[in-house]
Amino acid sequence: MKTNQTHQNPSILSLFKLFNPPSNLISFILFFAFGLCSGIIFTSQFKYISFNFQFPQFSFSGDNSGDISGAGACVSGGGNLAAPSPQAPPLSRVKVGLKSYLTPPEIIHDMTDEELIWRASMVAKVREYPFERTPKVAFMFLVRGPVVLAPLWEGFFKGYNGLFTIYVHGSNRSLNVTEPEGSVFHGRRVPSKGVEWGKVNMIEAERRLLANALLDYLNQRFVLLSEACIPLFNFSTVYSYLINSKYNFVESYDLAGPVGRDRYSKKMAPVVDIKEWRKGSQYMRNDVTEKLRNNRRSCEYNGKKNQICYLFARKFSPHALDRLLRIAPKLMQFNL
């Protein structure tokens, strides 16, 4: 009897072991259950979490390689790892300051006359300047061809860069004229249109010159000249006289006769009426230069008497250039 009981014990023990797993299996089940619960909890909260991870794209090649799409994909097998593509550099912030606004546009531009006048008519409402400035004088030349007295003007402007600006408007005969490099007149021709003496287009040319000069905020005084004009004094005298003056100088009067009112043409109407027609005196000739400088009559300057009555003279032909260059250093004190 004991023998039979003894032989049955191994079977019962095996069955008991079948329904009673070992401790390591229990640990595995518990670990699996814990991971499953954690995953469910994490998934339920995943939609409230924002991730901003950047994963480089990899390329694998080989027998065991495969296409990979998406971030965090797992790859088994060997392959060649490609270098990540370089990231684009961050965009630099463009600084827009007052300096870029004050810089005048290039003298050669594509603006129409209407656009130019509109741009030049902008005036700051605040009269005080928020920056240090040195006022300049704009010299505006309305010429029929080249600036024939340019060598004399070169000596006048020499050594005074930053105190003046030059603008040249040509006519039909000088639209393609260019001054030599190194000259103060080189590259200073504004976009020009045809000009005829005594026609309204001459007024338009003068307005075009003034509008271009107004684009530079540093221009505070404006002088209209022709190719036949010359300065009577050196630059420092002319600059000081103009910058410190409280008034504008425009000579205009009604003069009866062939050189005044008779020059009016009915074709100028309705732009210019006969009542608005005025004469500017042709008071300067090339044989009275010294008399103009040392005249005996006094003129008024800022409410006080002054010996300087004229700053410029006109009606000088190109033939007078050699003589002017000889007398300029002594009489006009130019640095030729």
Q: What is the pLDDT of residue 325?
A: 93
Residue 214 to residues 43, 104, 209: CA-CA distances in angstroms? 70, 9, 9
- The conformational region for residue 161 under phi > 0 = left, psi -120 to 50 = alpha, else beta, is beta
Q: What is the pLDDT of residue 194?
A: 85
* 111 in Cβ contact with 119 (< 8 Å): yes
In a domain, 93, yes or no: no
Q: What is the pLDDT of residue 323?
A: 93
R_g (Cα) of the chain, nearest Å: 45
Residue 330 to residues 3, 148, 234, 238, 272: CA-CA distances in angstroms? 151, 22, 11, 16, 44
Beta bridge partners of 165: 138
Q: What is the pLDDT of residue 97?
A: 77
In a domain, 12, yes or no: no
Q: Which domain holds residue 216?
A: 102-332
Q: How many domains does the chain have?
A: 1
State pLDDT tens for residues 201-236: 888 999 999 999 999 999 999 999 999 999 999 999
In a domain, 317, yes or no: yes
Q: Which of 164, 156, 183, 197 is nearest to 333 (CA)?
A: 156
Return the biggest CA–CA distance within the chain: 165
In a domain, 195, yes or no: yes
Instruction: Kindly give the parts of the chain with pLDDT less than 50.
Output: 1-8, 11-19, 50-79, 81, 281-288
325/234 Cα distance (integer angstroms) = 13
* 228 in Cβ contact with 147 (< 8 Å): no
Q: What is the pLDDT of residue 175?
A: 61
In a domain, 233, yes or no: yes
In a domain, 80, yes or no: no
In a domain, 75, yes or no: no
In a domain, 254, yes or no: yes
State pLDDT tens for residues 12-31: 444 444 445 555 567 667 76
Q: What is the pLDDT of residue 100?
A: 75
